[in-house]
Structure 1
Amino acid sequence: MRYGTGVALCLAAGAIWSLMGLGLRQIEAASVWQILFWRSVGMIPVLLGFMWWTSKGRPLAALRAVGLAGIAGGLGLVVAFAGAIYAFQTTTVANAVLLFAASPFVAAVLGWLILREAVRPSTWIAIAIAVFGMYLMVSDGLQTGAFAGNMAALLSAAGFGIFSVALRWGRVGDMMPVAFLGSIFSLIFAAGVLIFRGEPIPALPQDMAVAFAIGFFVVAMGMVLFTLGSRVVPAAELTLLSLVEVLLGPIWVWLALGETASQNTLIGGGVLLAGVVFNAVLGARRPGNEGVAETS
């Protein structure tokens, strides 16, 4: 695959993921756990099919290869998926996606604490910048009543951080089996919560269809495109390309539904994104980051 093709695939993935908030706004009555269940149902066939293709018909071998790290990463994705859904339902799309952008910094801190990975001084500066931006956004939630949604978005970012650290801990080169485990765990966990709370697993037909479509087309297809593209794009550039989701997500709900963001969200989000870009640009200048990732 050519480098330009990889960039195009990653950009396409970000554009597809950016439709998440708009899609969830179409849900009428389904709860977070019903949405998580039916979205997971939509994700599973796509991820299984891609894993079957890349493993040459041996998906079980691919699952066994990820080991305990895959299980830990999959559980992290349960937190990330559930937190994201709740955040989109209880705060603005702009708030949610901007706070999601903090996940690389959460991963850096977790990697430092758990794996004893060194963190560049420039990354600590970027983390400080991002924390200030997040403070502005979260404090705004106290005034607008969206504090719980903001906390859920940060919890989601933490879940993605756990997912990333688990991959590095287990030296897992292929994230797709871990994502598949995450979808299975999410389905089981959501069903368990619904049964425990005495709520039905089926929702309104329209809500089930929307949640399934989000899982199938938005989440899973986006993962497939991003996985393919990431094979020939350096990690620091992937961070920048993924910002397409952050930038487009609020635009779709503004154009379609007239949903706007507060001044503090825009200021704090701008500060947060500045930290992300600062870290990614300096990371791209490090020796060894100028090339492309190994292709397979």
Structure 2
Amino acid sequence: MRDSVAAARERTLGGIYAFSAYLLWGFLPLYFLLLAPTGPWEIVAWRILLSLGFCALLLTATRTWPRLVAIFRQPRVLGLTVIAGLTIYVNWQVFIYGALSGHVIETSLGYFINPIATVLLAVLVLRERLRPTQWVAIGIAAAAVAVIVIGYGAFPWIALTLAASFGIYGLVKKKVGPSVDAVSGLTLETLWLSPIAVVVLIVVGMTEGLTFGAAGWPHAVLLSLAGIVTAIPLLLFAAGARRVSLTTIGLLQFVAPILQFLVGWLLLGEPMPLERWIGFGLVWVALSVLTVDSLLHARRTRAAG
């Protein structure tokens, strides 16, 4: 009895952690907009370096440096963290560019498409066989992209790049598995990206000029929080994912793009012409098909077990 109560409490706590992570990710575009006049290249560079510094403090506070050192004795795992770092860099750069250039709604489309991109990657990379319903969901999503391209007259490259990069990032993290904890993983990913960040800051400093410290102390404080703003949702997500089922995570993952969509549409006033509503509607239908299929498949698997 006591064990079941403890397990239920852990699941509840995990749900709260995961929901909090997606809630923070949903409002992330507003934080980046507050960093004006800092451009997307400088923001990502500081985000990398400050995240690395914050992770180093966490490793010191929790005395978990030995975990990080142990990963260096696993060349395969170390190589995968390099790939993870490069893919998350692409994701961060495109996301912040979208947020600062008036394309928050399109960034939300990217994360709506992400579950479908993940299923497609499972076929292309892992050679998994899809159920017919999953193929239907992919077909509907492809039709949605076609509607947006033809009707709206613009190729949604921001959305597709976000979906592809985060899908590949998730695939790499799955390959890494539990051998790398959340803090060590983010530490390594930002460590590999640090040379890129330094070069970017040098180039920005020589061309446009760095804004850190040049736009007043409130701006400097906000920009200095980039590392914490990056790390906290990732750590909350990792804590939640360990405690709840994949089905729960799958349902909660729609919280972030829904909030981003509402922020772009209602708060920032980005346009939503009929063609976009039709395209988004088709994506939501595809996600509904995929979600129902996943729930039914999980129920059949439990029943068979």
User: Which category describes the TM-score, using the shorter chain as reference length?
Assistant: 0.7 to 0.9
**59-68 or 236-245, which deviates more:** 59-68
Q: Show the counterpart of 2:188.
A: 181
TM-score (norm: length of structure 2): 0.79
CA distance in 2, matches of 1:240, 1:51: 31
Matched, 1:199 2:210: no
1:29 aligns with 2:37: yes
Q: 1:168 aligns with which of 171, 174, 179?
A: 174
Kindly indicate whether residue 226 of structure 2 is the aligned counterpart of residue 210 of structure 1.
no
Q: Which amino acid aligns with 2:22?
A: G
Distance in 2, matches of 1:118 and 1:46, equals: 41
- Report the counterpart of residue 82 of structure 2 in structure 1: 71
Residue correspondences, number = 285
Per the alignment, residue 242 of structure 2 pairs with 231
Aligned partner of 1:152 in structure 2 is 158
Structure 2: 5+ residue stretches without partners: 1-8
Bigger Rg, which one: 2
> In the TM superposition, what is the alpha-carbon distance from 1:84 to its structure 2 partner?
1.0
Counterpart in 2 of 1:135?
A: 146
| Among 19, 22, 26, the residue aligned to 1:11 | 19
Cα distance in 2, alignment partners of residues 6 and 124 from structure 1: 31
Distance 1:222 1:3 in 2: 18
Matching residue of 1:38: 46
Q: Report what 1:106 is aligned to.
A: 117
Query: In 2, Cα distance between the equivalents of 1:237 and 1:43?
Result: 28
Gap change, CA 1:212 and 1:284, over 3 Å in 2: farther
* Whole-angstrom CA distance in 2 between matches of 1:277 and 1:52: 44
- Aligned-partner SS, 2:37: coil
Alignment of 1:229-268 (within 5 A): 229-252=240-263, 256-259=267-270, 261-268=272-279
Give yes or no for the alignment of 1:282 onto 2:282: no
Structure 1 residues 226 and 171, CA gap change in structure 2 (3 angstroms): closer
Q: Distance in 2 between matches of 1:3 and 1:200?
A: 49
Alignment root-mean-square deviation, CA:
3.1
Identity among equivalent positions (%) equals: 23
Shift of 1:62: 5.5
The residue identity in structure 2 corresponding to 1:20 is L
